[in-house]
Amino acid sequence: MAKELPKAYEPQEVERRIYEMWEKGGCFEGHRDPDKKPFTIVMPPPNVTGQLHMGHAMDCTLQDILTRFKRMEGYAALWVPGTDHAGIATQIKVEEALRENEGLTRYDLGREKFLERVWDWKAKYGARIVEQQKKLGVSCDWSRSRFTMDEGLSKAVRHVFVSLYNKGLIYKGSRIINWCPHCVTALSDAEVEYKDKPGHLWHIRYPIQGEKDRWVIVATTRPETMLGDTGVAVNPADERYKDIVGKTCVLPLVGREMPIVADEYVDMSFGTGCVKMTPAHDPNDFEVGLRQHLETIRVLDDNGKVVEGYGRYSGMDRYEARKAIVADLEEQGYLVKVEPHQHNVGTCYRCHNDVEPLISAQWFVKMEPLAKEALRVVKDGETKFVPDRFSKTYINWMENVRDWCISRQLWWGHRIPAWQCDDCGEMTVSETDPTECAHCHGKHIHQEEDVLDTWFSSALWPFSTLGWPEETEDFKYFYPTDVLVTGYDIIFFWVARMIFSGCEHTGKPPFHTVLIHGLVRDDKGRKMSKSLGNGVDPLVVAEEYGADALRFNLVTGNSPGNDMRFLPERCEAMRNFANKIWNASRFVQMNLTIDHVEMPKELTNEDKWILSKLNDLIPDMTTNMDSYELGVAAQKVYDFIWDDYCDWYIEFTKARLQGEDQGAKEQAQQVLCYVLTETLKLLHPFMPFLTEEIWQALPHEGDYLMLQKWPERRAELEFPAEEKAVDLLIDAIRAVRGKRAELNVPPSKKAHLTVSTGEMDVFTQGIPLLKRLAYASEVTVVGVTEAPEGEKGMTSVVTPVARVFMPMAELVDLEKEKARIQKELEQKKKALAGLESKLSNPAFLSKAPESVVAAERERADTLRALMTKLEESAASLS
């Protein structure tokens, strides 16, 4: 017999020891096996800057549940972990440390020395989140852990860049991009978050050249960019302005003469119908500028400051310049009016500062050709989203996708593998560092300074982590992967890019299912954030309640695609569940005299009932797991353990366990142990530590629960008749107990029960259970037409198939109980009167917070419900 389970479950000690045991046993390793089907998950790589947060905990828990389930089902399961270099975030961290600790900038160190510092930082902090993930029990194959800038993945990045460039799908050009003046880098469209912000609409006069006292009035939300205006546009169908098309106007404050052009882009109903054109600072103006041959003048630098050549505005921050320009427009008589205006403002997803659209020479990926196949595989169902509604989100974005800006003005990341020739001006793009220009063979070449967008490398993650572009055995066996688990907030950032990258470079979509989960919000439904200070550290929760309780909380509160509120008190409930299992397992273990488990030849109805319940549970849970209804599966095993096994079956067996019949005793032990070990397997993916620890202490075969076979329905354990019969007895026992509780009758006070039923055989066979569990001195079973003797003075309860009578005099002192109920009723009436007085007071209703008023109303409703029950109890005693 294994060691005895201690009296109390101490998750902190158990979890550390169990995880070390799994790691030493190689339990997490994913191996190719020609006799097994592969099941592959790649972990969404957290940033090396990362600190585990509740979103990570959710993501890891769902992936771990699926991996453990498939491993037990007999698949060659591989869960590939890793981390992302997180270009912007990591560089900012290191630059901040440099500035604060040494008063230096990256430019003071130079590129090579600065990158040495970043690698040192990564070595020091990069594994932090990995150790935190282990505390949650994640069963990744850590021997395969990858980093987006390790040698193999960097090789894949270069291969893809060169391949797309040679196909004409990567190009360098000057276009309007999203620029973050705080991070000082370009951003892709997906990295811009739009927020509704209050602003203004400034109406400004632009004098028409050569015509006294005549002007056009334009409306703008960004007066600071007017310094770069090179034209004014009107709609060609707008009768108001037909006579000025082809003329010129003068830019206030600057004096630049600009053409007035006609373009269908202009909305005649917005503002004045005249739109100032700033091609260098607005994507729509840029397109109009190309059609109308307008000059492109950039007036803001990389830091969001006005460039040289604009007098006192030069060097001003964009918002400082806005105030100065508006003041000067007003002073010089150009400002007509200012209106409040609510509008969407793009912000950087990293630093949340306002993004500046501006023209810049950047590298782009042509998206239209790549989007076609990526759309087809989702529309044809080769890749499915769970829930399906997110496929519409994906399709809508892909059908309207613009070219992807992939260059970043950073030093940390994959440097763009392109070299400019100083002699002929041509570009050499190569997977290996060239020594000469590929065009003129000149030696004067220099590499691009920019690095690639972080998402460029993570888009290759499902296949680059398996050794691609080499045709490795792992790649051939484990790719395509099976399920991607991720939040809906990175469908555009990552999911879409992985799908089109997989289709383009491997000829196959990278996974067949995208399981989308929602965000973990605080108890008030707010997004967790540093600014609100409402984040919950999962490691703190795991330390207090145990990792299993945290995991079970996250999964039972979760349904695919929906946000969930994190309620700490639910962790306490899950810890209580863990303790319930622990105590039940201790009871079983302390009553065991067997050293192996085998099904007894003879079974009681109660044995058949629990075995049949388990037999029903197994396929139900398996179906739920296969359908990614993990929360539903978790709830089912929870209900089975708490209600069927702990609350009922253990009680059923106590008489045999405590009796003198050795055969009956061993029979109960065998079924108790069999059902417990099978249930531990079903629960294992959700609560791995607790289940492994208990399983190790029970009779078992094999070294680890996590490597046991997932349970299957057994035809020989189907007992529908016995299951139904015991359910009917349980209904009756529950009803009797409820009535006794209502009357405050202690278990020690027994009474004669009379059962009137059409299921006489069931209840006659069940008399021993009824006597013991319904606290009966005697039990008489009669038919439905036979009224029990002395119906007067009896109380009864009703179930779907029976009516159970109990003599009141044997249960309670009627007069004493009436007096007690009356006294309690008077107290409740008094309390209710006070509440109703408060709630009818207009002063209270007008001054008290809405939440306080609602709470008082809820208290009043609760009191009314209690009074109704008390009145019903009093009536039943009369």
pLDDT digits (tens, 9 = 90+) for 214-241: 999 999 999 999 999 999 999 999 999 9
Whether 2 has a pLDDT exceeding 70, the answer reads: no
Among the ranges given (404-418, 670-684, 848-862), the one the predictor scored with the smallest mean pLDDT: 848-862
* Closest listed residue to residue 527, CA positions, set 557, 555, 496, 489: 489
User: Which pLDDT score, from 0 to 100, does residue 788 have?
Assistant: 64
Percent of the chain with pLDDT over 70: 98
In the prediction, which pLDDT does 162 show?
97
Gap between the Cα atoms of 8 and 25, Å rounded? 27
| pLDDT reported for residue 270 | 82
pLDDT (average), residues 337-359 = 87
Q: Which pLDDT does position 468 carry in this prediction?
A: 97
Q: Where are the alpha helices (DSSP H) in 535-659?
A: 538-545, 547-556, 568-590, 605-626, 630-639, 650-657
For residue 397 the two structure tokens come to 């974005």
- What does the pLDDT average to over 170-198? 87
**How many whole angstroms separate alpha carbon 289 and alpha carbon 275?**
12
The reported pLDDT for the residue numbered 473 is 97
**Average pLDDT in the chain:** 92
Start-end of H helices in 186-332: 283-292, 318-331
Q: CB of 78 within 8 A of CB of 40?
A: yes
Task: Decide if 292 contacts 231 (C-beta within 8 A).
Answer: yes
Tell me the mean pLDDT in the region 833-844. Answer: 90
Identify the three-state secondary structure at position 222.
Answer: coil
**For residue 637, is pLDDT > 70?**
yes
pLDDT per residue over 779-798, tens digit each? 999 998 876 654 567 788 88
pLDDT at 1 over 50: no
Mean pLDDT to the nearest integer, 698-724: 95
Residue 263 has pLDDT above 80, yes or no: yes
The topology under which CATH files domain 567-718 is Isoleucyl-tRNA Synthetase; Domain 1 (1.10.730)
Could you state, in order of their start, the residue ranges of all structural domains in the chain? 185-356, 567-718, 743-812, 815-877
For residue 848, is pLDDT > 60? yes
> For residue range 398-457, what is the model confidence (pLDDT) as tens digits?
999 989 999 999 999 999 999 999 999 899 999 999 999 999 999 999 999 999 999 999
Question: What SS3 class is residue 512?
Answer: coil
Per-residue confidence (pLDDT) for residue 87, from 0 to 100: 87
pLDDT digits (tens, 9 = 90+) for 319-330: 999 999 999 999
Q: Does the reported pTM lie above 0.75?
A: yes
Range of lowest pLDDT (136-140, 525-529, 568-572): 525-529
- Beta strands 451-452 and 407-408, pairing class: antiparallel
Give pLDDT tens digits for 371-391. 999 999 999 999 999 999 999
Share of the chain above pLDDT 90, in %: 73
User: Which two three-digit tokens encode residue 860?
Assistant: 């009043």
- Model confidence band, residue 878 (pLDDT cutoffs 50, 70, 90): low
Pick the CATH number of 185-356 from 3.30.450.40, 3.40.50.300, 3.40.605.10, 3.90.740.10: 3.90.740.10
- Of the listed ranges 55-69, 204-218, 450-464, 779-793, the one predicted with least confidence: 779-793
Residue 221 Cα distances to 197, 204, 282, 359, 683, angstroms: 12, 11, 12, 19, 58
Q: What does the pLDDT average to over 245-264?
A: 95
Q: How many CB atoms lie within 10 A of CB 421?
A: 21
CATH fold match for the domains 185-356 and 567-718: no
549-606: pLDDT as tens digits: 999 999 997 788 888 888 888 999 999 999 999 999 999 999 999 989 999 999 999 9
